[in-house]
Amino acid sequence: MLLPSTIIGAGAWGNALAGLVRSPVQVWSRRSAVTLKEAVTGSELVISAVSMAGVNEMVDRLQNIITPGQIIVTTTKGLDLATNLTPAQIWAAAFPQNSIVVLSGPNLSAEIQQGLPAATVVASSDHSAAQKVQTAFSSSQFRVYTNDDPLGVELGGTVKNVMAIAAGTCDGLSLGSNAKAGLLTRGLAEIVRIGTHWGANPETFYGLSGLGDLLATCSSSLSRNYQVGYGLAEGRSLSEILAQLEGTAEGVNTTKVLMQISRQNQVELPITTMVDRALQGQITPAEALTALMLRDNRPE
């Protein structure tokens, strides 16, 4: 018998997840009639579907509420600007007695809410916890795989948001399929580079949470990060784009964190660098493309 679950965050992704969980589920937000403690108490899975900006606040609020037997599932795709930590790393530091599971994959919430099929990955150093989450979410609509590399699964879903901004720019400039294929291929290489520097298994990035999420997010106008890039290509400012966006484009903040890591550790991230300059208005999308095309010749 599946025990109750609590989803924290009633945005598009939180509501989409609620439709997938096979156990009794409660979605909690600040507008809920019950307190956070009441919502979480008694749940086997505590599923965080908040934006990166809300992770630290939620961690603080759950202190003295979470009990050791509860499994914390993080679905946030972002990086903390102050510490460079991933959401799972933040949860693990705050709740060392709890199993932390990362859920990530090519999961556009609008398609899931329409009942369209999808697949995802749940990853944890605790295989038993990952299997429990797999069982809770698996259905004929939603296929769930387990993985023992939570860092790689998390970073694949996070860093690909930066590439989605670049892909949106590519399409907004009508550069064609050849250019986009080249961009995504080199984008994947960049994801692997940053991920392996961080200590993740390079093979993870060729799975659903890396390549799979990259293909979905960089090919769909449903992606908020793609919409940011497309808007930049249309000549709109970042502030204008974000004001009209429904939800958070995590790739904007992730780009800033990756640039910090690149400078501190001398990790070469050419696409991320051009995305960062375009987001800051230092360069136009067309100029960014030219800069990438004119980089020094080298072996693949």
CATH 1.10.1040.10 domain residues, the chain:
158-293
Residue of 37, 132, 160, 180 marked active site: 160
Residue 272: partners with Cβ closer than 8 Å, 6 or more residues away: 162, 190, 255, 258, 259, 262
Residue 289 has a pLDDT of 81
**Greatest pairwise CA separation for the chain in angstroms:** 60
Residue 249 has a pLDDT of 93
Q: Do residues 209 and 153 touch, judged by C-beta distance below 8 A?
A: yes
HSE-CB for 62 with a 13 A CA cutoff? 26
Q: Which of 219, 230, 223, 276 is nearest to 253 (CA)?
A: 276
* Architecture category of domain 158-293 in CATH: Orthogonal Bundle (1.10)
In the predicted model, what is the mean pLDDT of residues 254-259? 96
Average pLDDT, rounded, for the chain: 94
With tokens 């199993």, the residue in question is 99
pLDDT (tens digit per residue) in 68-127:
999 999 999 999 999 999 999 999 999 999 999 999 999 999 999 999 999 999 999 999
- Domain 5-148 of CATH type 3.40.50.720: yes
Query: Which DSSP symbol is given to 203?
Result: G
Residue 2 has a pLDDT of 72
Residue 1: pLDDT band (50, 70, 90) is: low
Confidence (pTM): 0.94
In angstroms, the Cα distances linking 240 to 227, 231, 275 are 12, 9, 17
Higher pLDDT, 298 or 75: 75
Q: Which of 95, 12, 4 is nearest to 41 (CA)?
A: 4
pLDDT (tens digit per residue) in 40-68:
999 999 999 999 999 999 999 999 999 99
Q: Do residues 152 and 204 touch, judged by C-beta distance below 8 A?
A: yes
Residue 57: partners with Cβ closer than 8 Å, 6 or more residues away: none
Distance CA 138, CA 47 (A): 15
Residue 299 has a pLDDT of 65
Query: Which DSSP symbol is given to 233?
Result: H
Residue 298: pLDDT band (50, 70, 90) is: low
For the chain, what percentages of helix, strand and coil (3-state, to nearest 5) are there?
55, 10, 35
Residue 295: pLDDT band (50, 70, 90) is: low
Residue 160: pLDDT band (50, 70, 90) is: very high
Q: What percent of the chain has pLDDT over 70?
A: 97
Residue 231 clears pLDDT 80, i.e. is over it: yes
SS3 10: coil
Residue 294 clears pLDDT 90, i.e. is over it: no
With tokens 């940011």, the residue in question is 228
180 catalytically annotated: no
In the predicted model, what is the mean pLDDT of residues 28-48? 96
Residue 23 has a pLDDT of 86
- Tokens standing for 158? 């996070």
Identity of residue 215: L
Q: Do residues 228 and 252 touch, judged by C-beta distance below 8 A?
A: yes
In the predicted model, what is the mean pLDDT of residues 213-234? 95
With tokens 């298994």, the residue in question is 201
Query: Which DSSP symbol is given to 295?
Result: S
Distance CA 37, CA 61 (A): 9
Residue 288: pLDDT band (50, 70, 90) is: confident
φ, ψ of residue 126 in degrees (nearest 5): -100, 100
Residue 3: pLDDT band (50, 70, 90) is: confident
Q: What percent of the chain has pLDDT over 90?
A: 92
Residue 296 has a pLDDT of 55
DSSP-derived pairing of the beta strands 45-48 and 142-147: unpaired
Q: Do residues 187 and 271 touch, judged by C-beta distance below 8 A?
A: yes
